[in-house]
Amino acid sequence: MPMPKTPAKATIPKDAPHVFAGAAASASSPVPDNPVDQMRAAFRMVHMAYGIWDPVAQALLEGGEGLAELVGLPPDQLFNNSNSFFNFIHAQDRGRFWSIYHTALRDAPGYEREYRIIRVDGSVRHVAEAGYFERDASGRAVRLLFTVQDITARKMAEEKLRLAKAQAELGSHAKSQFLAHMSHELRTPLNAIIGFSDVMRRQIFGGLGNERYVAYIDHIYESGAHLLVLINGILDLAKVEAGKARLEEEPIDLAAAIATCINTVRLRAEAGGVDLLVDLPEKWFLQGDHVRIKQIILNLLTNAVKFTGRGGTVRVFGRRKANGDLQMAVADTGRGIRQEDIARAMAPFEQLETAYTRSHEGTGLGLPLAKALAELHGGQLEIASALGVGTTVTVTFPAARVIEQGSGIGNQVSGRDSVLDP
């Protein structure tokens, strides 16, 4: 609150306005008759300092005991020349302190501001002040009622939360950087292992001399290929988390991309007795990264086929929302996920601890990676599931990425994707 150049303690005039009423210092205390005493009692009850300031005379009409307590002084010492409340305001906050007051003084009903004070013992406290102006018929401010509350505990809690958040983000960034680096370092020699083992299993330069070696090389090749898929998933997720993933955008025939992914998982689905169904428009174009979009689709299909039992069904379908967004969904009739486990299913490297899930291979990256890639396109991924009924994973792409039919874009789409096998 503002303070006079030569502060002087003053008493409240008898005709002071009734600013507060109906409060008492405690439930057992009688309610004071004088409205100003009622105000004092109310502020004492909520441990809040208050004051009344005259903007015309530049004088403090009253400063409650709370102001003295706030800075660590007895009440009779607070307003002498050397102990003006203004002198206790942190030097770095004084400019803003006056700026907010003078701006509000012109025509605002009141103001709110936060600043620091330095107590007599040298400790720093954070306070929040709120003021309300009483104005005459011409609009001139004639009186200011203000309150000051110690918010140090809240500020300390906010700072702890900020530091914890920053530390967590730093740790997450370091983890992502490490995973990206290590995945790259692992992928380079792994490609050599896969390449050379493939040459040997085909016996391009001659026989291996022993049938056991053929079986061993097949295992090396298959294990290497499987490990490469896992490492690529880790690398992709790490890149997204580290903010290094970039989209190579082009027009995509979404129906054709889905058909390619369906063909990729068809053998596994047939081996597991799972039916694959597709219900999509014949031509559906989307602006995006062709490889990343197919990663999303393939991850969702692979998960659905993996966790659907014999005789079950996996269905891919889509629709346009009223706002123009495009939705693609993969629904299965598998075991399903409990509602309380859905958040865990979306966490990287998380696998739901059941005998069912432990019987299936994987690192738990499929859904988190699909979600990250969908968000990279400005979309979102949502899961709806019921235990014993099945799971539906829906990816929503924003309307801005949808290419409308009749735009002539079909001629620009590359023919990288196959059609559905009969």
pLDDT at 194: 83
Sequence-distant (6+) residues with CB within 8 A of 78 are 9, 63, 67, 68, 71, 85
pLDDT at 406: 55
Model pTM score: 0.51
Between the ranges 26-30, 56-60, 228-232, where is the mean pLDDT highest? Answer: 56-60
- Could you give the domains of the chain? 35-150 (3.30.450.20), 157-241 (1.10.287), 249-412 (3.30.565.10)
Sequence-distant (6+) residues with CB within 8 A of 70 are 49, 117, 119, 125, 127, 148, 150
**Sign (positive or negative) of CA dihedral 192, 196, 198, 199:** positive
Ramachandran region, residue 419 (left: φ > 0; alpha: ψ -120 to 50; beta: rest):
beta
Q: Please determine, for residue 234, whether its predicted confidence score (pLDDT) is greater than 90.
A: no
Report the largest interatomic distance among the alpha carbons of the chain, rounded to a whole angstrom: 114
How confident is residue 397, by pLDDT bands cut at 50, 70 and 90? very high
Tokens 């936060």 correspond to 114
> 152 with 126: CB under 8 angstroms?
yes
Q: Please determine, for residue 4, whether its predicted confidence score (pLDDT) is greater than 50.
A: no
Query: Alpha-carbon distance 299 to 362, whole Å?
Result: 11
What pLDDT digit, counting tens, does each position of 295-351 carry?
Answer: 899 999 998 999 999 999 999 999 989 999 999 999 999 988 888 888 887 776 555
pLDDT at 2: 54
pLDDT at 11: 41
pLDDT at 407: 54
Query: Alpha-carbon distance 19 to 365, whole Å?
Result: 62
